[in-house]
Amino acid sequence: MPEGIFCNRTPINTVEALHTLLADKSGKTYYAEMNALEVDRAALKATLDKTCKSRIRTWLEICAHCGMCADSCFFYLANNKDPKQVPSYKIQSTLGQIVKKNGDVDNAFMQMVMDTAWGKCTCCNRCGMYCPFGIDMGVMFGYLRGLCYSQGFVPWELKIGAGMHRIYRAQMDVTSEDWVDTCQWMAEENEEDWPGLEIPVDKEDADIIYTVNAREPKHYPEDLAEAAILFHIAGENWTVPSVGWEETSLAMFAGDWEACKLQVQAVYDAMERLKPKRMVVTECGHAYRATVIEGPYWAGLKSGKTPVPSFHYVEWVAEALRTGKLKIDPSKRIKEPVTYQDSCNYIRNAGLKECAREIMSYIAEDFREMSPNKEHNFCCGGGGGMNGLGRYREQRNIGLKVKRDQILATGAKLVVSPCHNCWDAIRDLEEVYHVGIRWSFLKPLLLKMVIVPDHLKSEE
């Protein structure tokens, strides 16, 4: 059987196909079928010829096998320094072999590659900072995931996730109607406490177009309300698009580059349509990475930039605090020791470390840095799609130990985590290891301590 009914090389493009795959609980049949999935060697070779160019080939070739990347990898550290977790070994034994054999590999090999690309690497890119040659194994694992996806060797959840983007232009089945309804609901729900509160949809020429993570309308609509209230207090002229509101990209985690392009194009189209001055994205790391950092390349924008200047939520918060749009009540600042989770995607891979420190200087009295921190921080343990993959749950939980120990070493019990994946990982590490920590996005913290101007207060 060259291809299965569930496990095959065809992306999910229809609601029917999506429901069929979703009905295969935990991907049981999907993974069973994967054992018989044939490798299309000719296609793999053709893809290598077309896309594996001098950068990656040079990286694979000149790697001095020095092992200096070993300690940079949290999986290596969390797994008692298992040599098989050395980043160089992981990439040389997978992509290195595929390139060496020019695509002539078999099913068992590709399954090992899949288990390495998703189960032993979160594409946090930390190893690249520790290699004297600047060999970025995270980038190569991203590329490798694309090769795996094109051959149908992709974790079940991410095949679904990429399909969601293809169908709904969102990582979850949230339609444009659902989204707009949620916006209206949240505005109505809070208008009593916040007279004049609006969540303006499709307003043209606003100063800010605000975009989110589909989990927010689907599971945490209060996050949207909190964003609206903070924009309201700050006096921002803002809007959300009815279409193109989703910033995340499970397609990026899956290596489905076509879906990546479709997804970011929807956001860029919203920018073109509504002509805002700038875009602000919610507290999500990979969403920012996908839509702001990598997205322009998927969409073929030669400037390498989004159609309007784009900002992560921490940039907006830092600016609002700096300019006094948001003022913090000094008596309500966080008194207890508090630490900050530097997200790989917007700190290491997008350079926003200073914004985070600036925010903490306004809201916390006893801010404690993790060690290491900023661009050298370790991945939370749940990046790169890892949080959502049942097949690698055990590996994920082992990996969380590094973050657990980093947090505990600060002495802080509260972790500020303006990134959905980090937030989830830290929540899960508490669930698994019971170390007595709490975690929070910025929005609820800010709402507790921001000074509300008199004219915005409700009459009660």
Name the DSSP letter for residue 359: H
Q: How far is CA 325 from CA 313, 318, 355, 421, 449, in A?
A: 14, 10, 16, 28, 14
Compute how many other C-beta atoms are within 10 angstroms of the C-beta atom of residue 231.
25
What is the C-alpha separation between 32 and 35, in angstroms, rounded?
6
What is the C-alpha separation between 274 and 241, in angstroms, rounded?
8
CA-closest candidate to residue 70, choices 78, 62, 60: 78
Q: Residues 389, 155: contact at Cβ < 8 Å?
A: yes
Number of residues that bind other proteins (CB under 8 A): 53
Q: Is 255 near other proteins (CB under 8 A)?
A: no
In the complex, what is the shortest distance from the CB of residue 157 to other proteins, in angstroms, rounded to a whole number? 25
Tell me: cis bond preceding 372? Omega within 30 of 0 counts: yes
Interface segment toward other proteins; rule CB under 8 A; list 36-44, 123-131, 164-172, 210-218: 123-131
Q: Is 395 near other proteins (CB under 8 A)?
A: no
Strands 278-281 and 238-239, how do they pair? Answer: unpaired
Nearer to other proteins, 59 or 153 (CB): 59
Q: Is 302 near other proteins (CB under 8 A)?
A: yes
Nearer to other proteins, 196 or 300 (CB): 300
Among 303, 455, 459, 460, binds other proteins (CB under 8 A): 303
Among 14, 25, 49, 83, binds other proteins (CB under 8 A): 83
Q: Is 92 near other proteins (CB under 8 A)?
A: yes
Q: Is 80 near other proteins (CB under 8 A)?
A: no
CA-closest candidate to residue 43, choices 133, 158, 153: 153
Q: Is 49 near other proteins (CB under 8 A)?
A: no
The residue type at 430: E
Compute how many other C-beta atoms are within 10 angstroms of the C-beta atom of residue 459.
5
Q: Is 399 near other proteins (CB under 8 A)?
A: no
Here's the x/- map for other proteins, 268-297, by CB under 8 A: it reads as -------------------------xx--x
DSSP characters for 388-442? G-GGGHHHHHHHHHHHHHHHHHHT-SEEE--SHHHHHHHHHHHHHH----EEE-H
Q: Is 324 near other proteins (CB under 8 A)?
A: no
Interface segment toward other proteins; rule CB under 8 A; list 79-87, 161-169, 266-274, 319-327: 79-87
Nearer to other proteins, 357 or 413 (CB): 357
CA-closest candidate to residue 259, choices 178, 159, 140: 159
Nearer to other proteins, 52 or 170 (CB): 52
Among 375, 393, 408, 456, binds other proteins (CB under 8 A): 375
Among 132, 196, 324, 436, binds other proteins (CB under 8 A): 132
Q: Is 352 near other proteins (CB under 8 A)?
A: yes
Among 14, 51, 175, 184, binds other proteins (CB under 8 A): 51
Q: Is 54 near other proteins (CB under 8 A)?
A: yes
What is the C-alpha separation between 263 and 248, in angstroms, rounded?
8
CA-closest candidate to residue 171, choices 139, 212, 119: 212
In the complex, what is the shortest distance from the CB of residue 179 to other proteins, in angstroms, rounded to a whole number? 29
Among 19, 55, 275, 457, binds other proteins (CB under 8 A): 55
Residues that bind other proteins (CB under 8 A): 51, 53-55, 57-59, 61-68, 70-72, 76, 81, 83-84, 86, 88-89, 92, 128-136, 293-294, 297, 300, 302-304, 348-354, 372, 374-376
